[in-house]
Chain A
Amino acid sequence: MSIKSTTRLLFLFSISLFYRTSSFAQLKDELGAIHGNFQIDAANYQKDTIIGADPGSEVFRYNAFGNINYQKGGFSAGVRFESYNPPLLGYLPGYKGSGVPYRFARYQHKDIDITVGNFYEQFGSGITLRSYENRGLLYDNALDGMRVIFTPKKGITLKGLVGKQRTYFSLSPGIVRGVDGELNVMELFDSILGNSKTKVILGGSFVSKYQEDQNPSLVLPQNVATGAGRLTVIRGGFNFNAEYAYKANDPSYQNKYSYREGKAIIASTSYGTDGFSMMLSGKMLDNMSFRSDRDAQNTIDMINYQPDFSKFHTYSLMAYYPYATQANGEVGGTAEIQYKVKKGTLLGGKYGMDITINGSAYYALDTIGIAPINDTLRNFKYTTNYSNVGNEYYHDFNIEITKKLSKKLKFTVMYANQFLNQSIVQFNTPDKEEHPDITSHIGVLDVTYRYKTGSAIRIETQGFFGKYDYKEHALDANGNKNITNNTGSWMSGLIEWTPSTHWSITVADQYNYNNPVIAKRVHYYYGMIGYVNGPTRVSVSYGRQRQGIFCAGGVCRFVPASSGLTISISSSF
């Protein structure tokens, strides 16, 4: 951050703080409220040849942002300052620089809600439109334009918007326009159906994008439309959701400029009662990638969101080979059962026991003709046989048991069996020589001991036992077994000590104990000290981060190995 921008940021914060001092308390009700938050993650990297970490010449990097919002009654306005000079390793390098990419003014009064400037919005499950931010992942496709939400009658919500999407510190070349309507049937016919235990919600959306055709060799559609209809039924603990979407032909970098239309069906149903729940989600996505710039890559300029129902793992080795929705198409589903064994039973003991069983399986579409991934000649067309599925992309079957043994001691034990078609899912290539299929067994034991009020020790151990399948190309040119991208199995251990509710100290190690290349059997050690006071959190950490794949927003990106010192601060006011 340059001195100038630091000063500017400090100045802004000082004004808002001065304004918030108690002498202004009486005035505040008349003048409105100012609030905000900020977060800074800074790292000083070092070269670490053993793990292949090389930050280049830019060893100091940071991601920082600060929001300042003003609200008075139905009026609100805000700005976000962001700075990356350059961004931390593993984030899209296009984010380099500083600026104010987000500012808005919004007015809500009775049945109308108008926003000008930047905004985030989602229609239904997001399959036609979702502008969304996740600051930790640096995923931000905010729209810059105008949005109107109109509620003419209780039970009816109408939305209309137009804008351009954020692309790093500028805007996408395409224009996005959309409308959405939602009808809550029971609220609308309140007098007749108001007492009904069953709730029915209907919705529909239409989104179109415009981008000039500047391609010298292809005639590309400049306007591309997509539409969807959805239904929700809720009764007591029962929930059902379904959405169908259609997209007109939309040649793009993602689908190798195929002129095929897109289709999607997404459905999920769940039932929950005291101590028991089950959930089933399924989807069929066929060529539904939708971006405001047809040539965009990574997580840039995505207009819609193709949902991913696979379990979001929080234990690191469970998430070693994660899955992400395949943008060109896939079919599959996820099921989950949760059961709470009652207190006072043999298994439940004094405090009960929680069991979660979760399973996912996702497959390629069964395409006839040449699928986009193999379409080097750009045949532009293929057909899908919806009565069958193609190759397996991913599966994950896991069981998690959590039990409290006493007021002081509790544990979680978890097992997972996973399969990943890595070449297609993470690297978008049919090459199995470089990127073999991986089958793994993963185990976790996590024990927390609360030795006095506000003080605890948590110990976590994990094991990842992987099998890398090289059957298609078992030997390289010299007759040696090909071991590219085979890191073998891993073990990890972590101790987290919370001496008081303000402080925490963590030490961890991940050991690649049977990497086929003996020189790569190394320890990835890591240590962190964290401090929390009210809304403020500060942490300092030092250690090694292994290279890996990080998936977000339906796109996986490669995060290089790194080593160094990291400082992280966040607060709100």
Chain B
Amino acid sequence: MKKLLILSSAIILSLSAFTTGDGDKIPSASVKKLDGSSTNSNTFKNDGKPMIISFWATWCKPCKKELDAINEEYAELVKETGVKLIAISIDDARSSGKVVTDVKVKGWTYEVYIDENQDFKRAMNVNNVPHTFLVDGNGNIVWSHNSYAEGDEEKLFENVRKLAKGEKLSH
């Protein structure tokens, strides 16, 4: 029980101090395009408009729910804010062949990359999928969210709209 106490106080201490979104650039890592060629994550850009970077996998139900929910409003959101969604699949060799078929059948128009060696996932400190990041027009990572619950996309849309207007974000 004593151990549990030490552990919980350590956790509470560290949690209370953690903040995200102080504006670092996207770290560099090699990822694969769906046409098999490689590119570096530090080349992700969207002409001064915000970007959403969403980590997902073909076997992850909540990830696909989230990307489906975003997809329903995506065309409208792009028109309004100029946002671009970059979907990073962390599928390994077992399922990476399914990434392209899932994307096609779902009709997603996102920019999709495969992070088969999970170098980008490590560089972005992602523990579990889904994990979604927001990048402002200057290429700074300003917000992130782990997991997906029904309705989470509303908060994301709100934040994208704020970013497009140059406003500050809160969680």
Question: Residues on A close to B: CB < 8 A?
Answer: 1, 3, 6, 9-10, 13-14, 17, 20, 22, 25, 28, 33, 35-40, 42, 44, 60, 62, 67, 69, 71, 74, 76, 108, 120-122, 125-126, 130, 132-133, 135-136, 157, 184, 187, 199, 201, 232, 234, 237, 239, 241, 268, 270-279, 281, 305, 307-309, 312, 314, 336, 338-340, 354, 448, 450, 453-456, 458, 498, 501, 504, 532-538, 567, 569-573
Contacts and interface: CB of A to CB of B under 8 A. Distances in A.
Contact of A62 (B7, B20, B97): B7
A60 B4 contact: yes
28 contacts: A1-B7, A6-B7, A17-B18, A36-B125, A60-B1, A62-B7, A122-B93, A122-B116, A132-B92, A157-B38, A234-B35, A239-B100, A270-B101, A272-B100, A274-B105, A276-B105, A279-B101, A314-B61, A338-B101, A338-B105, A340-B106, A450-B150, A458-B150, A498-B150, A534-B146, A536-B18, A570-B146, A572-B126
A143 to B, nearest CB: 12
Contacts of B25: 33
Most buried by A among B11, B14, B106, B145: B14
A9 B105 contact: no
A573 B107 contact: no
Given A20-B22, A275-B107, A453-B154, A534 B127 contact: no
Interface residues of B, number: 67
A3 B6 contact: yes
A501 B36 contact: no
B138 interface: no
Contact of B93 (A3, A125, A133, A187): A125
B43 interface: no
Nearest to A32: B24
A274 B149 CA distance: 27
A25 B100 contact: no
Tell me whether chain A's interface is mostly helix, strand or loop, or mixed. Answer: strand
B38 A536 contact: no
Contacts of A62: 7
Interface string B83-126: 00000000011110110111111110000000011110011111
Contacts of A501: 149, 151-152, 154-155
B151 A42 contact: no
Contacts of B147: 532, 537
Most buried by B among A20, A312, A570: A312
A456 B105 contact: no
A33 B125 CA distance: 13
A39 B15 CA distance: 12
Contacts of A71: 27-28, 123
A202 to B, nearest CB: 11
Contacts of A340: 105-107
Interface in B137-171: 143-147, 149-152, 154-155, 171
A456 B97 contact: no
Contacts of B61: 314
B150 A279 contact: no
A117 to B, nearest CB: 13
